[in-house]
Protein backbone atom coordinates (compact mmCIF):
# COMPACT_ATOMS: atom_id res chain seq x y z
CA UNK A 1 0.00 0.00 0.00
CA UNK A 2 1.35 3.47 -0.85
CA UNK A 3 1.80 6.13 1.84
CA UNK A 4 -1.47 6.88 3.60
CA UNK A 5 -1.16 10.55 2.67
CA UNK A 6 -1.09 9.64 -1.03
CA UNK A 7 -4.46 7.93 -0.88
CA UNK A 8 -7.71 9.47 -2.05
CA UNK A 9 -10.82 9.68 0.11
CA UNK A 10 -12.19 6.57 -1.61
CA UNK A 11 -8.90 4.67 -1.21
CA UNK A 12 -8.53 5.65 2.44
CA UNK A 13 -12.08 4.51 3.12
CA UNK A 14 -11.33 1.17 1.49
CA UNK A 15 -8.08 0.79 3.45
CA UNK A 16 -9.87 1.46 6.74
CA UNK A 17 -12.82 -0.76 5.83
CA UNK A 18 -10.49 -3.68 5.17
CA UNK A 19 -8.62 -2.92 8.41
CA UNK A 20 -5.35 -2.22 6.58
CA UNK A 21 -5.17 1.03 8.52
CA UNK A 22 -7.01 2.44 11.52
CA UNK A 23 -8.46 5.93 11.59
CA UNK A 24 -5.87 6.78 14.25
CA UNK A 25 -3.01 5.67 11.98
CA UNK A 26 -4.53 7.69 9.14
CA UNK A 27 -4.84 10.75 11.39
CA UNK A 28 -1.26 10.37 12.65
CA UNK A 29 0.16 10.11 9.11
CA UNK A 30 -1.66 13.28 8.08
CA UNK A 31 -0.70 15.12 11.28
CA UNK A 32 2.97 14.34 10.57
CA UNK A 33 2.59 15.72 7.06
CA UNK A 34 0.82 18.83 8.39
CA UNK A 35 3.78 19.49 10.69
CA UNK A 36 6.24 18.86 7.86
CA UNK A 37 4.64 21.48 5.60
CA UNK A 38 3.94 24.29 8.07
CA UNK A 39 5.91 26.57 5.74
CA UNK A 40 2.87 26.78 3.46
CA UNK A 41 1.00 28.73 6.16
CA UNK A 42 -2.11 26.89 5.04
CA UNK A 43 -3.64 26.34 8.48
CA UNK A 44 -4.70 29.08 10.87
CA UNK A 45 -5.24 26.43 13.53
CA UNK A 46 -4.05 22.84 13.60
CA UNK A 47 -6.19 20.55 15.73
CA UNK A 48 -4.12 17.37 16.17
CA UNK A 49 -5.58 16.54 19.59
CA UNK A 50 -9.12 16.88 18.34
CA UNK A 51 -8.14 14.82 15.25
CA UNK A 52 -6.80 11.94 17.36
CA UNK A 53 -9.83 12.02 19.64
CA UNK A 54 -12.19 11.96 16.64
CA UNK A 55 -10.13 9.21 15.00
CA UNK A 56 -10.32 7.03 18.12
CA UNK A 57 -14.08 7.52 18.22
CA UNK A 58 -14.20 6.65 14.53
CA UNK A 59 -12.29 3.41 15.11
CA UNK A 60 -14.71 2.53 17.89
CA UNK A 61 -17.71 3.17 15.60
CA UNK A 62 -16.18 1.01 12.89
CA UNK A 63 -15.54 -1.77 15.39
CA UNK A 64 -19.26 -1.61 16.27
CA UNK A 65 -20.13 -1.82 12.56
CA UNK A 66 -21.39 1.76 12.41
CA UNK A 67 -19.08 3.22 9.76
CA UNK A 68 -20.37 6.33 7.97
CA UNK A 69 -19.67 7.48 4.43
CA UNK A 70 -16.50 9.37 5.40
CA UNK A 71 -15.56 7.25 8.38
CA UNK A 72 -12.07 8.18 9.59
CA UNK A 73 -11.33 10.52 6.65
CA UNK A 74 -9.21 13.53 7.74
CA UNK A 75 -10.38 16.91 6.43
CA UNK A 76 -9.28 20.54 6.42
CA UNK A 77 -12.04 23.04 7.13
CA UNK A 78 -11.95 26.59 5.81
CA UNK A 79 -11.77 28.89 8.82
CA UNK A 80 -15.08 30.44 7.83
CA UNK A 81 -17.09 27.48 9.16
CA UNK A 82 -17.92 27.74 12.83
CA UNK A 83 -16.54 24.78 14.73
CA UNK A 84 -17.70 24.26 18.27
CA UNK A 85 -14.90 24.88 20.77
CA UNK A 86 -12.35 25.62 18.02
CA UNK A 87 -11.46 29.26 17.30
CA UNK A 88 -12.95 30.57 14.07
CA UNK A 89 -11.37 33.70 12.61
CA UNK A 90 -12.64 34.20 9.02
CA UNK A 91 -9.04 35.27 8.39
CA UNK A 92 -9.75 38.52 10.24
CA UNK A 93 -8.32 40.31 13.22
CA UNK A 94 -11.83 41.40 14.18
CA UNK A 95 -12.83 37.82 15.06
CA UNK A 96 -9.68 36.96 16.99
CA UNK A 97 -10.58 35.24 20.21
CA UNK A 98 -13.99 34.09 18.93
CA UNK A 99 -14.65 30.48 19.87
CA UNK A 100 -18.05 29.33 18.54
CA UNK A 101 -20.37 27.55 20.91
CA UNK A 102 -22.02 25.80 17.98
CA UNK A 103 -21.11 23.83 14.87
CA UNK A 104 -21.99 24.82 11.30
CA UNK A 105 -24.51 22.49 9.66
CA UNK A 106 -22.08 21.46 6.91
CA UNK A 107 -19.30 20.50 9.32
CA UNK A 108 -21.80 18.80 11.64
CA UNK A 109 -22.93 16.74 8.62
CA UNK A 110 -19.31 15.81 7.87
CA UNK A 111 -18.66 14.69 11.46
CA UNK A 112 -21.91 12.72 11.39
CA UNK A 113 -20.52 10.89 8.34
CA UNK A 114 -17.42 10.00 10.39
CA UNK A 115 -14.90 12.58 9.09
CA UNK A 116 -12.06 13.87 11.27
CA UNK A 117 -11.12 17.55 11.74
CA UNK A 118 -7.41 18.21 11.09
CA UNK A 119 -7.46 21.97 11.33
CA UNK A 120 -8.90 25.25 10.15
CA UNK A 121 -7.48 26.50 6.88
CA UNK A 122 -6.29 29.97 5.98
CA UNK A 123 -8.36 32.23 3.71
CA UNK A 124 -8.70 35.75 2.45
CA UNK A 125 -10.21 37.97 5.12
CA UNK A 126 -13.97 37.26 5.22
CA UNK A 127 -13.48 35.34 1.94
CA UNK A 128 -12.85 38.56 0.03
CA UNK A 129 -10.05 37.97 -2.41
CA UNK A 130 -8.54 35.78 -5.09
CA UNK A 131 -5.04 35.21 -3.75
CA UNK A 132 -5.18 34.62 0.02
CA UNK A 133 -3.05 37.72 0.40
CA UNK A 134 -5.74 39.59 2.34
CA UNK A 135 -5.66 37.15 5.28
CA UNK A 136 -4.77 38.73 8.60
CA UNK A 137 -2.66 35.63 9.19
CA UNK A 138 -0.50 36.10 6.10
CA UNK A 139 -0.68 34.60 2.64
CA UNK A 140 -0.72 30.88 1.87
CA UNK A 141 1.94 29.47 -0.39
CA UNK A 142 0.89 27.40 -3.38
CA UNK A 143 2.73 24.03 -3.32
CA UNK A 144 3.28 24.51 -7.09
CA UNK A 145 6.15 26.58 -8.45
CA UNK A 146 7.08 27.58 -11.98
CA UNK A 147 9.58 25.14 -13.42
CA UNK A 148 13.11 26.25 -12.58
CA UNK A 149 11.89 29.13 -10.39
CA UNK A 150 11.76 29.52 -6.67
CA UNK A 151 9.28 32.39 -6.44
CA UNK A 152 6.33 31.79 -4.16
CA UNK A 153 3.02 31.64 -5.96
CA UNK A 154 -0.45 32.24 -4.54
CA UNK A 155 -2.85 29.30 -4.19
CA UNK A 156 -5.78 31.45 -5.34
CA UNK A 157 -8.56 32.55 -3.08
CA UNK A 158 -10.41 32.94 -1.03
CA UNK A 159 -10.30 29.25 -0.06
CA UNK A 160 -6.56 29.08 -0.79
CA UNK A 161 -5.58 27.24 2.37
CA UNK A 162 -8.15 24.53 1.69
CA UNK A 163 -6.86 24.07 -1.86
CA UNK A 164 -3.17 24.09 -0.84
CA UNK A 165 -3.60 21.43 1.86
CA UNK A 166 -5.24 19.04 -0.60
CA UNK A 167 -2.63 19.68 -3.31
CA UNK A 168 0.16 19.19 -0.74
CA UNK A 169 -1.44 15.91 0.40
CA UNK A 170 -1.82 17.10 3.95
CA UNK A 171 -5.45 16.01 3.71
CA UNK A 172 -7.35 14.15 0.99
CA UNK A 173 -10.24 16.62 1.07
CA UNK A 174 -11.37 19.94 2.50
CA UNK A 175 -14.23 22.40 2.55
CA UNK A 176 -14.37 25.82 0.97
CA UNK A 177 -16.95 28.45 0.25
CA UNK A 178 -17.57 30.07 -3.11
CA UNK A 179 -19.20 33.47 -3.45
CA UNK A 180 -17.75 34.46 -6.81
CA UNK A 181 -15.20 31.76 -7.53
CA UNK A 182 -13.45 31.01 -4.25
CA UNK A 183 -13.62 27.24 -4.66
CA UNK A 184 -13.17 26.91 -8.41
CA UNK A 185 -10.29 29.38 -8.91
CA UNK A 186 -8.05 28.04 -6.10
CA UNK A 187 -8.77 24.48 -7.29
CA UNK A 188 -7.50 25.50 -10.75
CA UNK A 189 -4.42 27.23 -9.30
CA UNK A 190 -3.52 24.18 -7.19
CA UNK A 191 -4.25 21.40 -9.72
CA UNK A 192 -7.14 19.81 -7.83
CA UNK A 193 -10.93 19.47 -8.16
CA UNK A 194 -13.22 22.08 -6.57
CA UNK A 195 -17.01 22.04 -6.69
CA UNK A 196 -19.37 24.92 -6.02
CA UNK A 197 -22.82 23.38 -5.57
CA UNK A 198 -26.08 25.05 -6.55
CA UNK A 199 -26.95 27.90 -4.20
CA UNK A 200 -29.12 26.27 -1.54
CA UNK A 201 -27.66 22.76 -1.83
CA UNK A 202 -25.38 23.09 1.24
CA UNK A 203 -26.54 24.97 4.30
CA UNK A 204 -24.97 28.34 5.07
CA UNK A 205 -25.93 28.05 8.73
CA UNK A 206 -22.86 28.59 10.89
CA UNK A 207 -20.75 29.80 7.97
CA UNK A 208 -19.47 33.34 8.55
CA UNK A 209 -21.45 35.43 6.04
CA UNK A 210 -19.87 37.47 3.27
CA UNK A 211 -22.60 37.97 0.62
CA UNK A 212 -25.56 35.87 1.69
CA UNK A 213 -27.29 35.60 -1.68
CA UNK A 214 -24.11 34.20 -3.26
CA UNK A 215 -22.20 32.29 -0.53
CA UNK A 216 -22.19 28.53 -0.99
CA UNK A 217 -20.09 25.87 0.78
CA UNK A 218 -18.51 23.11 -1.30
CA UNK A 219 -15.73 20.51 -1.37
CA UNK A 220 -12.13 20.24 -2.63
CA UNK A 221 -10.43 16.92 -3.36
CA UNK A 222 -7.99 15.34 -5.80
CA UNK A 223 -10.63 13.54 -7.85
CA UNK A 224 -14.19 14.08 -9.02
CA UNK A 225 -15.28 10.96 -7.15
CA UNK A 226 -13.83 12.31 -3.90
CA UNK A 227 -15.58 15.68 -4.27
CA UNK A 228 -18.81 13.75 -4.80
CA UNK A 229 -18.21 11.77 -1.60
CA UNK A 230 -17.71 14.99 0.36
CA UNK A 231 -20.66 16.73 -1.27
CA UNK A 232 -22.88 13.73 -0.47
CA UNK A 233 -22.19 14.20 3.23
CA UNK A 234 -22.27 18.02 3.21
CA UNK A 235 -25.60 18.48 1.39
CA UNK A 236 -29.19 18.45 2.49
CA UNK A 237 -32.07 20.63 3.53
CA UNK A 238 -31.51 22.61 6.71
CA UNK A 239 -34.46 24.36 8.34
CA UNK A 240 -31.95 26.68 10.05
CA UNK A 241 -31.06 28.28 6.69
CA UNK A 242 -34.10 29.86 5.04
CA UNK A 243 -32.43 29.65 1.61
CA UNK A 244 -31.55 25.97 1.98
CA UNK A 245 -33.35 23.98 -0.73
CA UNK A 246 -35.95 21.52 0.58
CA UNK A 247 -34.81 18.84 -1.84
CA UNK A 248 -33.68 15.25 -1.45
CA UNK A 249 -29.97 14.65 -1.98
CA UNK A 250 -29.35 12.61 -5.14
CA UNK A 251 -26.67 9.93 -5.38
CA UNK A 252 -23.70 12.15 -6.31
CA UNK A 253 -21.20 9.36 -5.76
CA UNK A 254 -22.88 7.08 -8.30
CA UNK A 255 -22.97 9.98 -10.79
CA UNK A 256 -19.26 10.64 -10.36
CA UNK A 257 -18.42 6.96 -10.74
CA UNK A 258 -20.25 6.79 -14.04
CA UNK A 259 -18.61 9.20 -16.52
CA UNK A 260 -21.81 9.88 -18.45
CA UNK A 261 -21.07 11.90 -21.50
CA UNK A 262 -22.46 10.09 -24.55
CA UNK A 263 -25.00 12.29 -26.28
CA UNK A 264 -24.58 15.09 -23.77
CA UNK A 265 -24.67 18.57 -25.29
CA UNK A 266 -21.75 20.68 -24.13
CA UNK A 267 -22.37 24.42 -24.49
CA UNK A 268 -19.41 26.62 -25.43
CA UNK A 269 -20.26 30.23 -24.57
CA UNK A 270 -18.75 32.53 -27.19
CA UNK A 271 -18.65 35.50 -24.78
CA UNK A 272 -16.03 33.68 -22.69
CA UNK A 273 -13.46 34.29 -25.44
CA UNK A 274 -12.19 37.48 -23.87
CA UNK A 275 -9.02 39.48 -24.20
CA UNK A 276 -6.59 38.99 -21.38
CA UNK A 277 -7.04 35.24 -21.21
CA UNK A 278 -3.73 33.42 -21.49
CA UNK A 279 -3.38 31.84 -24.99
CA UNK A 280 -2.45 28.58 -23.31
CA UNK A 281 -5.76 28.60 -21.48
CA UNK A 282 -7.64 29.27 -24.70
CA UNK A 283 -5.76 26.34 -26.29
CA UNK A 284 -6.56 24.09 -23.32
CA UNK A 285 -10.21 25.06 -23.57
CA UNK A 286 -10.24 24.04 -27.25
CA UNK A 287 -8.53 20.81 -26.33
CA UNK A 288 -11.20 20.26 -23.68
CA UNK A 289 -13.93 20.67 -26.30
CA UNK A 290 -12.16 18.13 -28.54
CA UNK A 291 -11.76 15.69 -25.63
CA UNK A 292 -15.46 15.92 -24.80
CA UNK A 293 -16.35 15.39 -28.45
CA UNK A 294 -14.09 12.35 -28.66
CA UNK A 295 -15.73 10.98 -25.54
CA UNK A 296 -19.11 11.13 -27.28
CA UNK A 297 -20.50 14.54 -26.35
CA UNK A 298 -21.82 17.06 -28.81
CA UNK A 299 -20.33 20.57 -28.52
CA UNK A 300 -22.73 23.42 -29.32
CA UNK A 301 -21.99 27.13 -29.51
CA UNK A 302 -24.18 29.09 -27.09
CA UNK A 303 -24.44 32.75 -26.20
CA UNK A 304 -24.54 34.35 -22.74
CA UNK A 305 -24.91 37.95 -23.90
CA UNK A 306 -24.77 39.64 -20.50
CA UNK A 307 -21.52 37.98 -19.42
CA UNK A 308 -19.50 41.18 -19.46
CA UNK A 309 -21.84 42.82 -16.97
CA UNK A 310 -21.50 40.01 -14.45
CA UNK A 311 -18.30 41.23 -12.80
CA UNK A 312 -19.38 44.87 -12.37
CA UNK A 313 -22.80 43.76 -11.07
CA UNK A 314 -21.15 41.32 -8.66
CA UNK A 315 -18.94 44.10 -7.31
CA UNK A 316 -22.08 45.99 -6.35
CA UNK A 317 -24.19 43.13 -5.00
CA UNK A 318 -21.39 41.41 -3.02
CA UNK A 319 -20.08 44.56 -1.28
CA UNK A 320 -23.67 45.69 -0.56
CA UNK A 321 -24.42 42.43 1.23
CA UNK A 322 -21.03 42.41 2.93
CA UNK A 323 -21.47 45.93 4.29
CA UNK A 324 -24.69 44.87 5.90
CA UNK A 325 -23.45 41.47 7.13
CA UNK A 326 -20.27 42.88 8.62
CA UNK A 327 -22.15 45.56 10.58
CA UNK A 328 -22.39 42.99 13.37
CA UNK A 329 -18.66 43.21 14.18
CA UNK A 330 -18.85 46.11 16.56
CA UNK A 331 -16.80 44.93 19.53
CA UNK A 332 -19.89 44.07 21.56
CA UNK A 333 -20.55 40.41 20.89
CA UNK A 334 -17.65 38.88 18.99
CA UNK A 335 -13.90 38.82 19.03
CA UNK A 336 -11.89 42.01 19.13
CA UNK A 337 -12.81 45.05 21.28
CA UNK A 338 -10.76 48.23 21.19
CA UNK A 339 -12.05 50.51 23.97
CA UNK A 340 -12.94 54.18 23.39
CA UNK A 341 -14.26 57.06 25.48
CA UNK A 342 -17.85 56.15 24.64
CA UNK A 343 -19.78 53.46 22.80
CA UNK A 344 -19.52 55.11 19.38
CA UNK A 345 -15.79 55.50 19.69
CA UNK A 346 -15.46 51.87 20.82
CA UNK A 347 -17.35 50.80 17.67
CA UNK A 348 -15.12 52.80 15.35
CA UNK A 349 -11.89 51.89 17.15
CA UNK A 350 -12.79 48.21 16.96
CA UNK A 351 -13.83 48.28 13.32
CA UNK A 352 -10.91 50.49 12.31
CA UNK A 353 -8.38 48.16 13.93
CA UNK A 354 -10.19 44.91 13.16
CA UNK A 355 -10.78 45.05 9.40
CA UNK A 356 -8.06 44.92 6.74
CA UNK A 357 -7.82 47.14 3.70
CA UNK A 358 -9.82 45.01 1.24
CA UNK A 359 -12.66 44.47 3.70
CA UNK A 360 -12.80 48.20 4.45
CA UNK A 361 -12.90 48.91 0.72
CA UNK A 362 -15.85 46.57 0.27
CA UNK A 363 -17.73 47.96 3.26
CA UNK A 364 -17.30 51.48 1.85
CA UNK A 365 -18.46 50.46 -1.64
CA UNK A 366 -21.38 48.52 -0.21
CA UNK A 367 -22.51 51.33 2.06
CA UNK A 368 -22.27 53.76 -0.84
CA UNK A 369 -24.34 51.69 -3.28
CA UNK A 370 -27.03 51.12 -0.65
CA UNK A 371 -27.30 54.74 0.44
CA UNK A 372 -30.31 56.91 -0.39
CA UNK A 373 -30.00 58.36 -3.85
CA UNK A 374 -27.61 55.67 -5.07
CA UNK A 375 -29.63 52.59 -4.26
CA UNK A 376 -31.66 52.81 -7.47
CA UNK A 377 -28.71 53.85 -9.63
CA UNK A 378 -26.43 51.03 -8.48
CA UNK A 379 -27.92 48.35 -6.29
CA UNK A 380 -31.31 48.01 -7.97
CA UNK A 381 -29.67 48.12 -11.40
CA UNK A 382 -27.19 45.43 -10.41
CA UNK A 383 -30.04 43.22 -9.25
CA UNK A 384 -31.77 43.74 -12.60
CA UNK A 385 -28.56 42.81 -14.44
CA UNK A 386 -28.32 39.75 -12.24
CA UNK A 387 -31.76 38.64 -13.43
CA UNK A 388 -30.62 39.03 -17.05
CA UNK A 389 -27.51 36.95 -16.38
CA UNK A 390 -29.64 34.20 -14.88
CA UNK A 391 -31.95 34.35 -17.91
CA UNK A 392 -28.96 33.97 -20.26
CA UNK A 393 -28.13 30.68 -18.58
CA UNK A 394 -31.73 29.45 -18.64
CA UNK A 395 -31.84 30.09 -22.38
CA UNK A 396 -28.45 28.47 -22.97
CA UNK A 397 -29.57 25.38 -21.07
CA UNK A 398 -32.44 24.95 -23.52
CA UNK A 399 -29.74 24.03 -26.04
CA UNK A 400 -27.19 22.19 -23.92
CA UNK A 401 -26.78 20.14 -20.71
CA UNK A 402 -23.57 21.61 -19.28
CA UNK A 403 -21.26 24.46 -20.22
CA UNK A 404 -17.50 24.14 -20.64
CA UNK A 405 -15.28 27.19 -20.00
CA UNK A 406 -11.87 27.99 -18.58
CA UNK A 407 -11.88 28.37 -14.77
CA UNK A 408 -9.54 31.36 -14.54
CA UNK A 409 -7.88 33.62 -17.11
CA UNK A 410 -4.34 32.82 -15.91
CA UNK A 411 -2.38 30.22 -13.97
CA UNK A 412 -1.28 30.95 -10.38
CA UNK A 413 0.58 34.25 -10.09
CA UNK A 414 3.34 35.38 -7.75
CA UNK A 415 2.61 36.38 -4.17
CA UNK A 416 2.26 40.14 -4.10
CA UNK A 417 1.29 40.50 -7.78
CA UNK A 418 -1.94 42.29 -8.66
CA UNK A 419 -2.08 43.77 -5.15
CA UNK A 420 -1.80 47.43 -6.15
CA UNK A 421 -4.84 47.40 -8.44
CA UNK A 422 -7.99 45.86 -7.02
CA UNK A 423 -9.66 45.67 -10.44
CA UNK A 424 -6.89 43.46 -11.90
CA UNK A 425 -7.39 41.16 -8.94
CA UNK A 426 -11.17 41.16 -9.48
CA UNK A 427 -10.71 40.05 -13.10
CA UNK A 428 -9.51 36.66 -11.86
CA UNK A 429 -13.11 35.68 -11.38
CA UNK A 430 -14.53 36.70 -14.72
CA UNK A 431 -15.32 33.10 -15.69
CA UNK A 432 -16.64 32.01 -12.31
CA UNK A 433 -18.77 34.99 -11.27
CA UNK A 434 -21.55 34.63 -13.88
CA UNK A 435 -22.56 31.18 -12.57
CA UNK A 436 -22.39 32.54 -9.01
CA UNK A 437 -24.74 35.37 -9.91
CA UNK A 438 -27.15 32.81 -11.37
CA UNK A 439 -26.78 30.44 -8.37
CA UNK A 440 -25.65 27.57 -10.63
CA UNK A 441 -23.31 24.69 -9.78
CA UNK A 442 -19.79 24.73 -11.23
CA UNK A 443 -16.78 22.49 -10.95
CA UNK A 444 -13.12 23.02 -11.83
CA UNK A 445 -11.22 19.99 -13.09
CA UNK A 446 -7.42 20.05 -13.54
CA UNK A 447 -6.88 19.57 -17.26
CA UNK A 448 -3.27 20.34 -18.11
CA UNK A 449 -0.04 22.20 -17.38
CA UNK A 450 1.14 25.46 -18.90
CA UNK A 451 4.62 26.01 -20.35
CA UNK A 452 5.93 26.82 -16.86
CA UNK A 453 4.60 23.54 -15.51
CA UNK A 454 1.70 25.12 -13.60
CA UNK A 455 -1.72 23.45 -13.46
CA UNK A 456 -4.68 24.84 -15.41
CA UNK A 457 -8.33 24.04 -14.81
CA UNK A 458 -11.43 23.82 -16.94
CA UNK A 459 -14.82 24.69 -15.54
CA UNK A 460 -18.09 22.90 -16.15
CA UNK A 461 -21.31 24.71 -15.22
CA UNK A 462 -24.58 22.82 -14.77
CA UNK A 463 -28.28 23.49 -14.42
CA UNK A 464 -29.58 24.40 -10.99
CA UNK A 465 -29.67 21.33 -8.72
CA UNK A 466 -28.35 19.12 -11.51
CA UNK A 467 -25.03 18.30 -9.87
CA UNK A 468 -25.42 14.69 -10.99
CA UNK A 469 -25.13 15.57 -14.71
CA UNK A 470 -22.32 17.97 -13.82
CA UNK A 471 -20.41 15.27 -11.92
CA UNK A 472 -20.86 12.73 -14.71
CA UNK A 473 -19.49 15.20 -17.26
CA UNK A 474 -16.67 16.20 -14.90
CA UNK A 475 -15.70 12.55 -14.42
CA UNK A 476 -15.55 12.16 -18.22
CA UNK A 477 -13.41 15.29 -18.57
CA UNK A 478 -11.14 14.08 -15.77
CA UNK A 479 -10.70 10.72 -17.46
CA UNK A 480 -9.98 12.29 -20.87
CA UNK A 481 -7.55 14.86 -19.46
CA UNK A 482 -5.73 12.24 -17.38
CA UNK A 483 -4.11 14.85 -15.13
CA UNK A 484 -1.61 13.11 -12.86
CA UNK A 485 1.02 15.83 -12.31
CA UNK A 486 2.05 16.66 -8.75
CA UNK A 487 3.68 19.73 -7.30
CA UNK A 488 7.40 19.02 -7.02
CA UNK A 489 8.35 17.96 -3.53
CA UNK A 490 4.75 17.11 -2.61
Q: Name the residues annotated as catalytic.
A: 78, 158, 182
CB of 127 to ligand GLN, least distance (A): 4
Residues binding ligand GLN: what is the number (CB under 6 A)?
A: 13
CB of 356 to ligand GLN, least distance (A): 13
- Residues in 153-172 that interact with ligand GLN by CB under 6 A: 158
Name the residue number minimizing CB distance to ligand GLN: 182
CB of 405 to ligand GLN, least distance (A): 16
Closest CB to ligand GLN among 118 and 433? 433
CA 331 to chain centre: 29
- Determine the 3-state secondary structure of 160 from DSSP: helix
Closest CB to ligand GLN among 26 and 44? 44
Task: Report the sign of the C-alpha dihedral through residues 104, 163, 426, 429, in that order.
Answer: negative
Per CB under 6 A, the list member of 103, 429, 450, 478 interacting with ligand GLN is: 429
Is there a contact between 162 and 414 (Cβ–Cβ < 8 Å)? no
Residues 343, 141: Cα–Cα separation, whole Å: 40
DSSP H helices in 137-216:
160-167, 184-190
Q: What is the DSSP string of 74-95?
A: EEEEETTB-BTTB---TT-GGG
Q: Given the rule CB under 6 A, which of 70-78, 180-188, 369-377, 476-484 is the region that contacts ligand GLN?
A: 180-188
Told to check if 181 binds ligand GLN by CB under 6 A, we report yes
Closest CB to ligand GLN among 7 and 214? 214
Strand order across the 402-406 sheet:
43-46, 116-121, 74-78, 173-178, 216-221, 193-196, 442-449, 455-462, 402-406, 265-269, 298-302
Told to check if 450 binds ligand GLN by CB under 6 A, we report no
Closest alpha carbon to 199 in 145, 243, 165, 232: 243
Closest CB to ligand GLN among 250 and 422? 422
Q: Given the rule CB under 6 A, which of 9-17, 65-73, 175-183, 300-308 is the region that contacts ligand GLN?
A: 175-183
CB of 365 to ligand GLN, least distance (A): 11
Is there a contact between 37 and 168 (Cβ–Cβ < 8 Å)? yes
- Residues in 95-134 that interact with ligand GLN by CB under 6 A: 127-130
Helices (H) and strands (E) in the chain, counts: 16, 11
Told to check if 366 binds ligand GLN by CB under 6 A, we report no
- Determine the 3-state secondary structure of 220 from DSSP: strand
Closest CB to ligand GLN among 342 and 420? 420
Told to check if 178 binds ligand GLN by CB under 6 A, we report yes
Residues 185, 179: Cα–Cα separation, whole Å: 11
Closest CB to ligand GLN among 135 and 179? 179
CA 390 vs CA 157, 413, 441: distances in Å: 24, 31, 13
Q: Given the rule CB under 6 A, which of 63-71, 107-115, 176-184, 341-349 is the region that contacts ligand GLN?
A: 176-184
CB of 211 to ligand GLN, least distance (A): 8
Residues 107, 143: Cα–Cα separation, whole Å: 26
Closest CB to ligand GLN among 180 and 335? 180
Per CB under 6 A, the list member of 22, 121, 175, 179 interacting with ligand GLN is: 179
Is there a contact between 189 and 455 (Cβ–Cβ < 8 Å)? yes
Told to check if 186 binds ligand GLN by CB under 6 A, we report no
Told to check if 180 binds ligand GLN by CB under 6 A, we report yes
What size, in residues, is the chain? 490
383 contacts: CB under 8 Å, gap ≥ 6: 317
CB of 180 to ligand GLN, least distance (A): 3
Per CB under 6 A, the list member of 105, 182, 232, 469 interacting with ligand GLN is: 182
CB of 378 to ligand GLN, least distance (A): 17
Closest CB to ligand GLN among 128 and 245? 128
Contact string 198-217 vs ligand GLN (x = CB under 6 A)? ------------x-------
Cis peptide before 158 (omega within 30 of 0): yes
Tell me the pairing of strands 116-121 and 43-46: antiparallel
Told to check if 319 binds ligand GLN by CB under 6 A, we report no
Told to check if 225 binds ligand GLN by CB under 6 A, we report no
Told to check if 318 binds ligand GLN by CB under 6 A, we report yes
Closest alpha carbon to 449 in 108, 230, 101, 190: 190
Is there a contact between 90 and 80 (Cβ–Cβ < 8 Å)? yes
| Chain residues that interact with ligand GLN, rule: CB under 6 A | 127-130, 158, 178-182, 210, 318, 429
Amino acid sequence: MSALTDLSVAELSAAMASRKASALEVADAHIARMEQHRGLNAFIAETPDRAREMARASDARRARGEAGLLEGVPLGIKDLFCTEGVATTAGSHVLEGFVPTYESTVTANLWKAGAVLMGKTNLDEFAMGSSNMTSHFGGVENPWKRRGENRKLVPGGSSGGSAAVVAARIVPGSTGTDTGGSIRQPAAFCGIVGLKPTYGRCSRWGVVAFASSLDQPGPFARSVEDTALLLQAMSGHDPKDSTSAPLAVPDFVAAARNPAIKGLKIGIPCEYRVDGTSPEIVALWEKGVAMMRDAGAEPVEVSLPHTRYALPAYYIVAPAECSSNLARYDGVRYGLRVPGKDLTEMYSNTRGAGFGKEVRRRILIGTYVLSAGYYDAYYRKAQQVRALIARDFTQAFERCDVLLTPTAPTAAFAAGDKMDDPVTMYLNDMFTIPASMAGLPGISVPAGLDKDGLPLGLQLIGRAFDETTLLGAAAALERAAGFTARAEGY
